[in-house]
């Protein structure tokens, strides 16, 4: 994937203070404070910095951690995992594959079918409402007509 690179100054102009702190500086929003923690509308979560589609509401679940949690990205190529030892423990950081925005961390205590828990910051995401069920049935209808 072609990378998007901008200076901190450019990102600062495009993002709010909280978005910049979390997505560009590897910060973490307070648990239960993010707008997408207790949020289950149907749609797609994009990178707040570059707009790349990252996660779908169809793989979002209630983890009780206080951060939006997913068990799978929309495309494995859209996220990258990076070893993170910053808090004195080894964790796996998750970043946007296109602009390297910090999204959160991935843990191995998630639900089936992947067993993964992508624990993300709402500040790194931008939700776009999409009627996923309608799109799927429309696609099926279309394929029947052929």
Site membership for Zn ion, residue 98 (CB under 5 A): yes
Peptide bond into 113 cis (omega under 30): yes
Q: 17: helix, coil or strand?
A: helix
Per-residue x/- track, 38-77, Zn ion (CB under 5 A): ---------x-xx-x-------------------------
What does the angle CA 57 – CA 140 – CA 146 come to, to the nearest 5 degrees? Answer: 150
Considering the complex, what minimum distance in angstroms separates the CB of residue 50 from Zn ion? 3
| Residue 96 annotated to the active site | no
Backbone angles phi, psi at 55, to 5 degrees: -135, 155
Binding site for Zn ion (CB under 5 A): 47, 49-50, 52, 96, 98-99, 101
Q: Which residues are catalytic?
A: 119
């Amino acid at each position: 994937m072609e990378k998007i690179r901008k200076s901190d100054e450019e990102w600062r102009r495009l993002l709010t203070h909280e978005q910049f702190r979390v997505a560009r500086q590897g910060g973490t929003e307070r648990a239960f404070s993010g707008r997408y923690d207790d949020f289950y509308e149907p749609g797609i979560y994009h990178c707040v910095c570059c707009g790349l589609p990252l996660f779908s509401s169809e793989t979002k679940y209630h983890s009780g951690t206080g951060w939006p949690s997913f068990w799978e990205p929309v495309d494995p190529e859209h996220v990258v995992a990076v070893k993170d030892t910053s808090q004195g423990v080894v964790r796996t950081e998750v970043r946007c594959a296109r602009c390297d925005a910090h999204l959160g961390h991935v843990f191995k205590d998630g639900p089936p079918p992947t067993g993964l828990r992508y624990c993300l910051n709402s500040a790194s995401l931008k939700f776009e409402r999409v009627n996923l069920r309608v799109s799927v049935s429309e696609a099926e209808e279309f394929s029947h007509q052929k």
